[in-house]
């Protein structure tokens, strides 16, 4: 009997420590942080906007955790210096979030969408310090998840590589209703990135603080429970966790407490925080049957290849002093990101919600 018990315990230990065991599983988290503003903001409003965004980024920057910052074109044009500062941090990846808050691209004509998306991308592209390496904007998520086939073709024409306008099990490309990892869109060079979903009171909801607060009226503590439970599911299943935080929602109050507690809980689980582009690259390797690369030793630090120094410049916007790190203009083998223009070769249909 003792021998059987010993063998059983040994088998459990082996299952836990060998590949495929629960202790060897790595949970991958992609934080999408929306940098948003109020309509017709006063100087006091803008200070609140900046402070709320700082509250979110300070939590990840102090730990060298990676995240993707989504910015709309109008926001980038109006707040170029703060957007430049956000994009200068090596653990941040800037991505396009349409042109204007709550716009519905899917209801616009091709020419109108093209005009909006091109001007939006240009506004973000110029948010860099002159003389430095320009890191191409390669990601996109539509406002209100509104898009259509025209959107995909336009995104390809302006060098976008992935589209995060999808919700796992709710809003997806045909044949991908069960996908939680990014997947290639048929007849396109774009990758679809599903935002994670969770079951709440028998209903599947997507992981967005704005949806949690405005659509579901969840308290901060209840929102944290949803996040923690979904994280536990990802630890067990190996599925990535893609979650959206908005600075106007999670940048203060009980939702900020939930955000901080979630970051604490995720780091206690040794979660691997990646940008959306990194998640897409991981999906490509995974689909090809390759081995996922080990986590980097800290993407926000000095470039090991170049080992170049940085200078600081101070900018004033309203009452806020913004420090912008001016990086060297040379290419860096490890740090530089790439983007490419491409063309669409076929029609795509987005499956209906539900």
User: Which pTM value belongs to this model?
Assistant: 0.79
Per residue of the chain (354 residues), what is the pLDDT tens digit? 444 444 444 443 333 333 333 334 789 999 999 999 999 999 999 999 999 999 999 999 999 999 999 999 999 999 989 999 898 888 999 999 999 999 999 999 999 999 999 999 999 988 876 766 667 899 999 999 999 999 999 999 999 999 999 999 999 999 999 999 999 999 999 999 999 999 999 999 999 999 999 999 999 999 999 999 999 999 999 999 999 999 999 999 999 999 999 999 999 999 999 999 999 999 999 988 866 666 654 443 333 333 333 333 333 333 333 333 333 233 332 333 333 333 333 333 343 433
Please name the fold of domain 25-326. TIM Barrel (3.20.20)
| Cα–Cα nearest to 143, from 112, 108, 104 | 104
CB 255 within 8 A of CB 249: yes
Q: At what angle do helices 253-268 and 43-61 cross, to 10 degrees?
A: 10
| Cα–Cα nearest to 119, from 88, 150, 142, 96 | 96
Q: Is 63 helix (H, G, I), strand (E, B) or coil?
A: coil
Backbone angles phi, psi at 61, to 5 degrees: -65, -35
Q: Which residues contact 154 (CB under 8 A, 6 or more apart)?
A: 110, 113, 114, 117, 118
CA distance 189 to 78: 31
Q: Where are the domains of the chain?
A: 25-326
């Amino acid at each position: 009997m003792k021998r059987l018990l010993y063998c059983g315990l040994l088998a459990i230990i082996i299952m836990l420590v060998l590949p495929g065991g629960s202790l060897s599983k790595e949970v991958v988290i992609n934080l999408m942080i929306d940098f948003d503003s109020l309509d017709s903001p006063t100087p006091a409003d803008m200070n609140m906007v900046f402070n709320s965004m700082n509250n979110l980024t300070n939590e990840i920057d102090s730990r060298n955790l990676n995240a993707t910052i989504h910015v709309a074109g109008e926001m980038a044009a109006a707040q170029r210096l703060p957007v430049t500062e956000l994009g200068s941090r090596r653990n941040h990846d800037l991505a396009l979030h349409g042109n204007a808050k709550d716009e519905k691209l899917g209801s616009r004509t091709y020419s109108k969408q093209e005009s909006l998306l091109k001007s939006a991308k240009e506004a973000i592209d110029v948010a860099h310090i002159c003389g430095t390496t320009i890191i191409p904007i390669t990601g996109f998520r539509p406002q209100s998840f509104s898009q259509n086939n025209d959107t995909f073709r336009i995104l390809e024409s302006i060098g976008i590589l992935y589209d995060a306008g999808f919700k796992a099990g709710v809003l997806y490309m045909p044949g991908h209703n069960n996908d939680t990892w990014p997947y290639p869109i048929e007849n396109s060079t774009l990758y679809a990135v599903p935002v994670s979903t969770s079951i709440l009171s028998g209903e599947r909801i997507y992981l967005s603080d704005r949806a949690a607060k405005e659509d579901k009226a969840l308290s901060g503590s209840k929102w944290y429970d949803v996040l923690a439970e979904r994280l536990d599911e990802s630890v067990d299943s190996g599925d990535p966790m893609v979650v959206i935080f908005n600075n106007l929602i999670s940048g203060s109050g009980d939702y900020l407490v939930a955000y901080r507690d979630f970051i604490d809980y995720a780091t206690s689980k040794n979660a691997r925080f990646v940008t959306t582009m990194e998640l897409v690259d991981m999906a490509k390797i995974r689909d090809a049957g390759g081995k996922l690369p080990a986590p980097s030793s800290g993407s926000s630090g000095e470039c090991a290849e170049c080992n170049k120094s940085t200078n600081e410049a101070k900018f004033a916007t309203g009452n806020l002093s913004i420090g912008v790190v001016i990086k060297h203009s040379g290419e860096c083998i490890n740090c530089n990101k790439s983007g490419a223009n491409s063309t669409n070769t076929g029609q795509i249909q987005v499956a209906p919600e539900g």
